[in-house]
Amino acid sequence: MAESTNCKLCDTPLGLKIISPLAGEEGVLKISITDFPGLECERGHRQFVSRDFPMQLLEQVTGGDKVGLPAGRKQGLIFKKYHCGKCGELLGADGEPRPFGFDVTVAGATKMHVELAVPVYKCASCGQEQVREAGEIEGLAPAALAHAFQAAGIKPQA
């Protein structure tokens, strides 16, 4: 079925709208996207270019190893501590936020640039740089993206 070319809220024509930047965060993860392609009507209502666009984008953002750093180890469920993944030393309380940028193309749309910012921890004992926990970025990315879409007023298609 073809995508509707009129806004579902007010029925005026939709056109391509490049939203830049689009940004959201969740926990320690910040995501910002430049040149994000969306649809906007004459009255400023926004929606995704296709129904499954946000899911495809999420897969591109979390697929592969975008950060390319080893991970530390988490200890404890309530009072969490993080240890160096290499030597086991306790990691410092605060990592240094570092951006990791890459280009993403979701089928049928233009190229976007995505930047993930996460804290990087350098072990005081062995010097290894690492993120504090494997899988943490993948776990936070859906909520961070949802916050970015909400902030830009982009609604999922009904």
Among 28, 41, 106, 118, binds Zn ion (CB under 5 A): 41
Query: Does residue number 86 form part of the binding site for Zn ion (CB under 5 A)?
Result: yes
Distance CA 56, CA 51 (A): 10
Distance CA 83, CA 118 (A): 17
Q: Which amino acid is at 124?
A: A
Query: Does residue number 9 form part of the binding site for Zn ion (CB under 5 A)?
Result: yes
Type and span of the H or E element at 40: strand 36-41
Distance CA 37, CA 57 (A): 11
Among 4, 5, 43, 105, binds Zn ion (CB under 5 A): 43
Least gap, CB of 12 to Zn ion (angstroms): 5
Cβ distance to Zn ion smaller for residue 126 or 151 = 126
Distance CA 6, CA 45 (A): 11
Query: Does residue number 84 form part of the binding site for Zn ion (CB under 5 A)?
Result: yes
Cβ distance to Zn ion smaller for residue 105 or 150 = 150
Query: Does residue number 113 form part of the binding site for Zn ion (CB under 5 A)?
Result: no
Neighbours of 2 (CB within 10 A): 4
- Write down the residue that tokens 């320690």 correspond to: 28
Query: Does residue number 124 form part of the binding site for Zn ion (CB under 5 A)?
Result: no
Binding residues for Zn ion, per CB under 5 A?
Answer: 7, 9-10, 41, 43, 45, 84, 86-87, 89, 123, 125-126, 128
